[in-house]
Structure 1
């Protein structure tokens, strides 16, 4: 899960990916797109945005002033901690754990250092109580993969170095035929392969909003099992439309017909 929602007022507005209305963050040093973009990709994104707009209007995002007073170093450490928790737990578990850590003043590097945890101390010591400020250094931390590293760079350091690709983004991009393995038309096998393939053609201004957009779309319509293709306004552009749904239905019918009376 990438889109972190923290219920505590202290953290609520700190850990979500920037929206399309937020100021553009640093992308100046990123490589230019080079591969040919898929046909109709702009129409597909626009269609998904329209489908998501009404749903997102009913999910208010709080912007408490308290969050603006959080020191940047503490905020970055909290982002990393929450990201690590979220990669292994469900949303409500992450939310509760992060809130309890915050309420007990344990969401700072100094506090964890004083808690006598040798492992934590070894992890934070080389960075002077702050988190690493590069993808390469973040990836050296145990439990941090490309997805978390790019998330932390965006939310913690306000620096876009790549696209945050989770299972939703990975699944939907493959269904749409937007990504493939290098030198072939085969689907990408991992989120990291999807990230690299997507970055070859997707304009940089879309690198941040595409995660939140496709995660919401993947939860509501383009679900892992039995996707709601009939409710999708861009299904005419999707080479996978109705195929997974009909396949599951056929299997169910065969299973039923093979049952003995």
Structure 2
């Protein structure tokens, strides 16, 4: 279902539909963005925002989260799912930021992915939105689904999907491409009930439902 020949047209239409794609996570600095993105795994951004509003008031920086009681942290983030793993990763990442990176979120792919719970998806988001460095394409469940349905990739592994998409789009637009596919996945290309009738790229989509 290779549809990459239509990428330029698909991307042009989607850019017009989503002219200023922005993350839907609430954050005020790179550290909050990192923590919120870790919490967003298998959780909606809306729920993460509800949790971080309280979390960041209690633990406003890496130092406070590094020193947080793990049981208290688990209670704070319980509703985001996978709370034991997430709390452990958040606490340990905060400790490493203090001990290894002078209290600042690192700004390289290598250093970011050395932190527990931080894979390329999270690192790409933090680099692009926190530091203005576009080095890759964040592939979450929406990007995976929408790019697959559009025939822009035949892979299912996030790293391979990222490589496929990077070959299609200009590097300067990689972050916008990711955010646009995420928004389109949330608002139109639903996993269970895709709204093909209102999809602006339905005519170019090999997976459209008549």
Per the normalisation by structure 2, the TM-score is 0.75
1:139-159 deviation line (CA, Å, top 9, x unaligned): 121111110011111122221
Aligned match of 1:162: 136
- 1:38 aligned onto 2:12: no
Deviation at 1:116, TM superposition (A): 6.6
Deviation at 1:50, TM superposition (A): 4.0
Q: Secondary structure at the residue paired with 1:200? A: helix
1:101-122 deviation line (CA, Å, top 9, x unaligned): 2222x12122234547784664
Distance in 2 separating the partners of 1:109 and 1:160: 24
| Conserved? CA contact 2:63–2:95, under 8 Å | no
Worse overlay, 210-219 or 113-122 = 113-122
Distance in 2 separating the partners of 1:203 and 1:83: 24
5+ residue gaps, structure 2, are: 71-90
- CA 47–84 in structure 1, closer or farther in 2 if over 3 Å, else same: same
| Conserved? CA contact 2:145–2:191, under 8 Å | yes
Aligned match of 1:135: 109
Distance in 2 separating the partners of 1:93 and 1:227: 22
Distance in 2 separating the partners of 1:48 and 1:122: 40
| Conserved? CA contact 2:143–2:181, under 8 Å | yes
Worse overlay, 232-241 or 193-202 = 232-241
1:54-108 deviation line (CA, Å, top 9, x unaligned): xx8xx9x9xxxxx9xx7xxxx221111111111243323311221112222x121
- 1:234 aligned onto 2:187: no
Distance in 1 separating the partners of 2:9 and 2:32: 37
Q: Secondary structure at the residue paired with 1:40? A: helix
| Conserved? CA contact 1:172–1:214, under 8 Å | yes
Per the normalisation by structure 1, the TM-score is 0.62
Distance in 2 separating the partners of 1:114 and 1:241: 50
Specify which of 32, 39, 54 is matched with residue 85 of structure 1: 39
Specify which of 188, 191, 208 is matched with residue 224 of structure 1: 191
5+ residue gaps, structure 1, are: 1-36, 62-66, 180-186, 247-261
Q: Secondary structure at the residue paired with 1:164? A: coil
Q: Secondary structure at the residue paired with 1:103? A: helix
- CA 155–233 in structure 1, closer or farther in 2 if over 3 Å, else same: closer
Deviation at 1:224, TM superposition (A): 1.0
- 1:215 aligned onto 2:188: no
- CA 113–122 in structure 1, closer or farther in 2 if over 3 Å, else same: closer
How many equivalent residue pairs?
184
- CA 122–51 in structure 1, closer or farther in 2 if over 3 Å, else same: closer
| Conserved? CA contact 1:40–1:237, under 8 Å | yes
Aligned match of 1:196: 163
Distance in 2 separating the partners of 1:172 and 1:223: 9
Distance in 2 separating the partners of 1:198 and 1:144: 21
How large is the Cα RMSD of the aligned pairs?
A: 2.8
- CA 122–110 in structure 1, closer or farther in 2 if over 3 Å, else same: closer
Deviation at 1:163, TM superposition (A): 0.9
